[in-house]
Chains A and B, each alone.
Chain A
Amino acid sequence: MLFALPALAGLLMFVAIPFLLAIGLAFTNLRLGSPLPLEFVGLTQFLRLFADDAFARALLNNLLFTLVVVPVQTLLALALALLLNQPLKGRALFRTLFFMPVVFPLALVSVVWILIYAPGPNGMLNSFLQLITLGEWQPRDFLHDPWLALPAIMLTSIWQGAGFQMVILLAGLQSIPEELYEAARIDGAGRWQRFWYITLPQLRNTLVFVMLVTTILAFRLFEQVQIMTRGGPRHATTTIMYEAVQAAFSRQQVARGAAITVIFFLLVLLVTLLQRRIAREERL
């Protein structure tokens, strides 16, 4: 107990206190530089948030982002992991290549993708699409198009995140005993059946974990938005985190920012509990 004290103190100072402070602030009217006195205003901040179109759009965007990115990225990572789990030449090289985006800072990745999405026929993606459609493609300004901006950010995020999931799934795949596959082959299972009846159930907890982490990261979506679109055009790519940072740091509405953070926390908590429910059933 005694030896845990420093750790507990650290936890209290750097996690619990700021967090409780945030909860406390969410029920006030604190705004930096405001002449109004600090007051307890109850649920006012929350009520205002739910009446706000930008915040509603942020919630919707996060939801869309999660619904698309989590399954697509997980499937992509699973496919890559399955591919790289085969005994093929240059496997180590491919693993490194696919993992590389993970180690690049998100800011750098975002800047690179701004170049890729550059408007006009000289933009990388535009000229590529023109090439493969034999000139049919009309160049777009992806990051300023209300319909394409969010998908563009999704694509960047998937490209950046899949490698990390792949590495975890690969470790999961490699921990499945070879003997199970041999038994299944002898029992008459073909390739697809082995995947369905051995690989997937054996990988289940790893998959749930990977999806949980990706979901939380999806809710935290911020850097790409900040750098690539600044939430625009017209809130088309705004997110919960982006709204929180905007409120607290651009508009000095600390209380509003705190309220958003509390909502964010509750959402993440909900996802985590859900994941634990799913993973606990049929634990091996």
Chain B
Amino acid sequence: MASVTYKQISKRFADGTTALADFNLQVNDGELMVLVGPSGCGKSTALRLLAGLESVSNGELLINDAVINDLTPQQRNIAMVFQNYALYPHMSVRRNLAFPLRMLKLPPEEIARRIAWAAELLQLTELLERMPKQLSGGQRQRVAMGRAIVREPRVFLMDEPLSNLDAKLRVRIRTEISALQRHLKITTLYVTHDQVEAMTLGQRVAVMNSGRLQQVAVPQLLYERPANIFVAGFIGSPGMNVFASRLQKQASALAFEFAGQWLEVPRNQRFNPEMLAPYVDQPVYVGLRPEAFEPTGSSEAQVELTLTAVEALGHEQLLYFDLSQVSAPNMIVRLQGSSAFTIGDKIPLALHTTELYLFDKMGKAIYTRAEKEKR
């Protein structure tokens, strides 16, 4: 039973790299929190600080309101699953599982009991006498999980534990991890760079970028109400299209500029256009998800754009259009099913402007209505 708090943590390495800056995060007791972000954003560093493998440069780490900055890894009672599992190659599966228990100097009967329990839970019973070298990737992964759970740690850390597995196995083990975590109710921090994994696994998800926390929220909220351009572009597959734009007051309503057109800003659960007055005639960014576009007959079309590439995935298609975004060369549209398009053609597109997002010039999302109360 433990909650974890990162209080204004920063981490500078000896070579001057700042891996974490002013990082605040609260993980509740029994919660599965996913840390997600692009490579090098400091996810592993956040875990390694909590495990005690690196020292904190500034700020406080707390477990259950007790500062643990100066405890050694041995004293923290935190378990970790490494990306490459880090099984002890010279020990059998049984001895790997027994290792943390022997370090705790538990009596042999207790060690045997816990190994039997973990092996049963993770279907390792048949494999106990094997050496790590004799196991498949998925089996090694389970042994690593087993070694972490046998000691009933206060906190469970996982650093991209599935990245060495093939896609199918990854989905299966993801579900198993989720079930196991709900069953054991151990506070868990799970690191991944895969936003799909983050969204499916996390009870809450913390999105990070270049050492800074961008947003912490339940998965649905990250998708519906990204806090800034980074989160909008990171969450979703593919992420949101974001364009530089302006707002203008027109006769009947407020309008935003998109691909040379002026389109109406909708009145919906995110916006009350009257309250957007401070942004009028200011540079802003507009965001539209790849699902917010639809090819139509030319009469209903709002824009016509040149198709530059098509990726067919079977159940859906990604269309790339010749319109540059803030941080990508093409606008991406996602379509269900498969229809034939010719690259180079001008395609008439309709926009679901109800799906519009606005960001201020600092990249922060603008919402003029409070989010609806969830649950």
A contact residues vs B (CB 8 Å cutoff): 177, 179-180, 182-190, 193, 197-198, 201-202, 204, 282, 284
Contacts and interface: CB of A to CB of B under 8 A. Distances in A.
A187 B96 CA distance: 10
Contact of B53 (A186, A187, A189, A284): A186
Interface stretch (B75-83, B112-120, B163-171): B75-83
B337 interface: no
Contact of B90 (A177, A185, A188, A282): A282
A185 B53 contact: yes
A185 B88 contact: no
A284 B89 contact: yes
A207 to B, nearest CB: 13
A185 B52 CA distance: 9
Interface in B54-111: 72-74, 78-80, 82, 84, 86, 88-91, 99-100, 103-104
Given A188-B74, A189-B74, A183 B103 contact: no
Contacts of B140: none
Contacts of A204: 90
Contact of A198 (B73, B82, B88, B147): B88
Contact of A201 (B73, B86, B90): B90
B51 interface: yes
A133 B357 CA distance: 87
B133 interface: yes
6 contacts: A183-B88, A186-B51, A186-B79, A193-B103, A204-B90, A282-B90
Nearest to A204: B90
B103 A187 contact: yes
Contact of B133 (A183, A190, A284): A284
A189 B98 CA distance: 12
A123 to B, nearest CB: 49
A183 B86 contact: yes
B86 A180 contact: yes
A179 B90 contact: no
A188 B103 CA distance: 6
Nearest to B131: A284
Given A187-B100, A190-B74, A282-B90, A182 B133 contact: no
Contacts of A282: 90
Nearest to B76: A186
A197 B88 contact: yes
A179 B103 contact: no
B99 A185 contact: no
B105 to A, nearest CB: 9
Interface residues of B, number: 23
Given A185-B72, A284-B133, 6 more contacts: A179-B82, A185-B74, A186-B51, A186-B79, A187-B79, A188-B100
Given A182-B53, A193-B103, A187 B90 contact: no
Contacts of B86: 177, 179-180, 182-183
Contacts of A189: 74, 99, 103
Contacts of A197: 88, 99
B96 to A, nearest CB: 9
Nearest to B74: A188
Interface of B: 51-53, 72-74, 78-80, 82, 84, 86, 88-91, 99-100, 103-104, 133, 147, 151
A15 to B, nearest CB: 37
Nearest to B153: A186
Contacts of A202: 89-90
Contacts of B79: 186-187
A203 to B, nearest CB: 10
A179 B132 CA distance: 15
Nearest to A193: B103
**What 10 pairs across the A-B complex have the smallest Cβ distances?**
A188-B103, A187-B100, A183-B86, A179-B86, A201-B90, A185-B73, A188-B74, A186-B73, A186-B80, A189-B103
Nearest to B51: A186
A284 B103 CA distance: 23
A52 to B, nearest CB: 47
Nearest to A180: B86
A146 B251 CA distance: 115
A201 B96 CA distance: 14
A186 B100 CA distance: 8
A188 B102 CA distance: 9
Which residue, A183, A282, A284, has most C-beta atoms of chain B within 10 A? Answer: A183
A72 B103 CA distance: 30
B80 A183 contact: yes
Contacts of B74: 185, 188-190
Nearest to B81: A183
A209 to B, nearest CB: 16
Contacts of A183: 80, 82, 86, 88
Contacts of B78: 186
A8 B79 CA distance: 57
B88 A179 contact: no
Contacts of A190: 74
Contacts of B73: 182, 185-186, 188
Nearest to A177: B86
Nearest to A189: B103
B132 to A, nearest CB: 10
Given A182-B53, A190-B74, A284 B147 contact: no
Given A179-B84, A188-B74, A189-B103, A284 B90 contact: yes
Contacts of B53: 182, 185-186
Contacts of A187: 79, 99-100, 103, 147, 151
B111 to A, nearest CB: 13
A9 B74 CA distance: 61
Nearest to A282: B90
A99 to B, nearest CB: 28
Contacts of A177: 86
Contact of A180 (B80, B88, B103, B151): B88
Contacts of A198: 88
